[in-house]
Amino acid sequence: MSKNKYEEVLMKIEKNLERRENAWKKLERVCELLREIPHYQWVGFYLVRGEELVLGPFSGEPTEHVRIPFGLGVCGRAAKEKRILVVQDVSKESNYLACSPKVKSEIVLPVFKEGEIIGELDIDSHYLSPFSDEDVSFLEVVAREVSDILYSIWRELHGWGKTSNL
């Protein structure tokens, strides 16, 4: 993957985040923009609510995993351990929650606000071993860029703001 593609998508994301629309729509658009990376087939955000993850904005095929307990699957494990998980071959994961038989690999990045995990950025790929250190670095920047917007949705989920899409 060329560095220019990551930079191009990041510039589009930053421009999108400046738009005057609600937080949910902005993150849906971030998901759509991230799917411009050829090996990102499903992109979505999960929000922390208690000890579970609740599906937020996403782009890709619908998933039945709208709530995931901490510790279950790659997303639940990343939330529980509060760390990035890169799984290059999901068939080798004993704790994997299959969203689609097409998914071969997954990367999950926790999103933090003031040191607290508020959600995750989850990306599925239909390819084996597609994620590089460059993907991790790029997605860490994206996670930081969206943290304030994800936080506003997280606040709504917890009843600390007006609800729109929850």
State the pTM of this model: 0.92
Per-residue confidence band for 1, with pLDDT thresholds at 50, 70 and 90: low
In the predicted model, is pLDDT for residue 163 greater than 50?
no
44 exposed, middle or buried (CB, 10 Å; 0-12, 13-18, 19+)?
Answer: buried
| Whole-number pLDDT of residue 166 | 46
In the predicted model, is pLDDT for residue 158 greater than 90?
no
Name the residue ranges covered by the structural domains of the chain: 3-157
Average per-residue pLDDT for the chain: 93
**Bridge partner residues of 91 (DSSP):** none
| Whole-number pLDDT of residue 95 | 84
C-alpha torsion sign, points 83, 74, 158, 156: positive
Provide CB contacts within 8 A for 119, sequence distance 6+. Answer: 45, 46, 47, 48, 53, 56, 110, 111, 150, 153, 154
The tally of CA atoms less than 13 A away on the side-chain side of residue 108 is 24
> Which tens digit of pLDDT belongs to each residue from 19-36?
999 999 999 999 999 999
| Whole-number pLDDT of residue 159 | 81
Q: Which CATH number fits domain 3-157: 3.20.20.60, 3.30.450.40, 3.40.630.30, 3.90.400.10?
A: 3.30.450.40
